Amino acid sequence: MTESSSNVVRETPQTSGRQVLDREQMRRALIRIAHEILEGNVREPDIVIVGIHSGGIHLAERTANLIAEFEGTKPPVGQLDIGLYRDDLSRRGRPVMRPTSIPVPIEGRPVVLIDDVLYTGRTVRAAMDALNDFGRPSRVQLAVLIDRGHRELPIRADYVGRNIPTSLDEEVRVNLLETSDEDEVLLLRKRA
Amino acid sequence: MTARGSGLAMTESSTRSSLANRRHVLDLDDFTRGEIEEVLQNTEVMKEVLSRDIRKVPTLRGKTIYTLFYEASTRTRASFEQAGKVMSADVINVSAGGSSVEKGESLYDTALTLQAMNADMIIIRHAHPGAPYFLARNLDAPIVNAGDGAHAHPTQALLDMYTMQSHLGRIEGLKVAIVGDILYSRVVRSNLWGLTKMGADVTLCGPPTLMPPDFLKGFPEEHPFAGITIENSVDAAVGGADVVMALRLQVERQRAGHLPSLREYSRMYGVSARRMKLAKPNALVMHPGPMNEGVEIDADVAHGAASVIEEQVTNGVAVRMSLLYSLVDSNGGGT
């Protein structure tokens, strides 16, 4: 099933935001992340790339394709929905779930989690719990396109595309060509 | 996802639940198509959880779910219990036998007791139609109907629809033939609501004595069931069907005079290998269980290649997990 089914309500932004990353900058940020992932895993190159729904899914695929370009082999790519592991849901209205698939055993292998924006760290904590239910990786690393600060947990990313200082009343919106008509990162001010 | 939980609040992760305002599951008549689709979509994800080596997720840690069964049940009760346990809820089973019900406690008082013990959900099966509605009106806890008399069995209908969709890729436009005791079947009534909302083409077939009189009269044009076909001949009902669903015939019906004999019933209305040849080549055989093999369905069909009857049971756990996920309150907190 796809997200285009009629039960999916999508929030549309009320304002247009300031562009903090354009298509070319995003491309270069991902190339750098892919190189850094390779350098960071020289000793254990059998990495598994796992994207966190939904912002990390396409970035994980792109990163794996870049690694394939540089190295000739594409690492396995998985996807993780953390809905069953969250600690921060409002009382009711749990989000529609998306499929989780980990295509290879991750026991004893290095895993690189990928998400678009690192914020409070709660999503990443939940993702690590979810990952653990599939086995015990030798290492878990985190790659994000944007680190916007405001951590609420002791979590940091190993690979960061761009650090963007934000205030709490701002939103970071990542548009990707897979789901919209541009590759860009926007900083939006939330409407009160 | 909440704005606070991630930086993604305005990206495609903002897939808000169409079940956000739903409190109870009493029947499918008040479900929107979007709600049904969401339950089925989440069920797909729950199937993945059930396929893992370690079938346990922490989602409902610290939540208590009561099953309150006034009628016998194996699969439905075990299914709810497993669904709750996979999601880390505590599941407590109360049945009429061996409880204060035997001492004459009323349904209301029993349910009130469960609520006082902080039930986060009460799942009820009762011989009287409407019993779950009575609880929903009078209690605060979410109520799930696990079968009320001949009225409704919504979770069975959801798992039936999920099974059809997972095999045939869709529900819209499927020709679904339901054969047997329509009159006393709560499974049929919930399936009619669900299947008509999802756009299936439903044919009902059974002896006239086991067909509700208002069904035989036909439905007015504006009724949601207006498109349903009532068929006397099983061969005609099964002809070209994508799904053939046999219903349990309660053997007491014969004694009550609805049927001349079980043997004649089997010959005239039983789902047999010969009849299944009239259906589409990849047609599914379904049955809500428990089966009377040799009465409403032949053993070779029930266990044959087209049968998805065992899979219905597995899917039942996943469907109930999906409902628990969407309906049991989460308090935040946690880490």
Strand-pairing partners, residue A52, are A80
Please list, in sequence order, all residues whose beta carbon lies within 8 angstroms of the beta carbon of residue B2, skipping any fewer than 6 positions away. Answer: A88, A89, A90, B9
pTM: predicted TM-score of the whole model, two decimal places: 0.89
Q: What is the residue-averaged pLDDT of chain A?
A: 89
Q: How would you class B102 by CB atoms within 10 Å of its CB: exposed for 0-12, middle for 13-18, buried for 19 or more? A: exposed
Q: What is the pLDDT of residue B252?
A: 73
Mean per-residue pLDDT, A8-33: 80
Which of B2, B4, B14, B15 best tests the A interface by mutation, with the highest count of A CBs <10 A? B15
- Do A1 and B5 count as a contact with CB atoms less than 8 A apart? no
Contacts for B191 with CB less than 8 Å, ≥ 6 apart: B156, B157, B160, B161, B176, B178, B202, B245
Fold of A18-86+99-189: Rossmann fold (3.40.50)
State residue A191's pLDDT score.
67
pLDDT in tens, chain B (335 residues): 333 333 333 333 446 788 888 999 999 999 999 999 999 999 999 999 999 988 999 999 999 999 999 998 888 999 999 999 999 999 999 988 777 777 788 999 998 999 899 999 999 999 999 999 999 999 999 999 999 999 999 999 999 999 999 999 999 999 999 999 999 999 999 999 999 999 999 999 999 999 999 898 889 999 999 999 999 999 999 999 999 999 999 877 777 888 888 899 999 999 999 999 999 999 999 999 999 999 999 999 999 999 999 999 999 999 999 999 999 875 433 32
Domain boundaries of chain A, sorted by first residue: 18-86+99-189
- Between A88 and B251, whose confidence is greater? B251
Distance, CA of B136 to CA of B9 (rounded, Å): 34
Q: For A96-145, what is each residue's pLDDT tens digit?
A: 899 999 999 999 999 999 999 999 999 999 999 999 999 999 999 999 99
Residue of A95, A122, A134 lying closest to B17 (CB–CB): A95
Residue B290 near residue B224 (C-beta atoms within 8 A): no
- Chain A nearest-CA residue for B49: A100
Structure tokens at A163: 């650090």
In this structure, are residues A44 and A72 in contact, taking their beta carbons and an 8 Å threshold? Answer: no
* Chain A residue with Cα closest to B23: A92
Q: What are the extents of the domains in chain B?
A: 33-152+314-324, 154-313
Structure tokens, B44? 């797909």
pLDDT of residue B155: 98
Topology, domain B33-152+314-324? Rossmann fold (3.40.50)
Examine the pLDDT at A87 and tell me if it is beyond 50.
Answer: yes
Task: Tell me how close the Cα of B28 comes to any Cα of chain A, in angstroms.
Answer: 16
Band of pLDDT at residue A92, cut at 50, 70 and 90: low
Judge contact between B37 and B45, C-beta under 8 A: no
pLDDT at B258: 84
Partner-chain contact A129 B14, CB within 8 Å: no
Residue of B nearest to A118 (CA): B7
CB-CB neighbors (< 8 A) of B57 in chain A:
84-85, 133
Write down the CATH number for the domain with range B154-313.
3.40.50.1370
SS3 string, B215-255, reads: HHHCCCCCCCCCCCEEECCHHHHHCCCCEEEECCCCCHHHH
Interface of B with A in 3-32 (CB under 8 A): 3-21
Contact call for A92 and B329, based on CB within 8 A: yes
Average pLDDT over residues A11-38: 87
**Fold match between B33-152+314-324 and B154-313?**
yes
Is the confidence at residue A187, as pLDDT, over 60?
Answer: yes
Q: How many CB atoms lie within 10 A of CB B233?
A: 11
Q: Considering only CB atoms, which chain A residues are within 8 Å of B120?
A: none
Contact between chains at B33 and A6 (C-beta distance less than 8 A)? yes
Query: Can you give the pLDDT at residue A190?
Result: 79
ipTM of the complex, rounded to two decimals = 0.81
pLDDT for position A2: 40
Q: Which chain B residues are closer than 8 Å to A88 by Cβ? A: 2, 4-5, 332, 334
The answer on pLDDT for A7 being more than 90 is no
- Residue A85 CA, chain-centre distance (Å), reads 16
Q: A1 and B54: CB-CB below 8 Å?
A: no
When CB atoms are compared, the residue of A81, A87, A117 closest to B8 is A117
User: A45: helix, coil or strand?
Assistant: coil
pLDDT band with cut points at 50, 70 and 90 for residue A10: very low
In angstroms, the separation between the Cα of residue A188 and the nearest Cα of chain B is: 10
Q: Which residues of A84-117 are buried (b: 16+ CB within 10 A; e: fewer)?
A: bbbbbbeebbbbbbbebebeeebeebbbbbbbbb
B332 touches chain A (CB under 8 A): yes
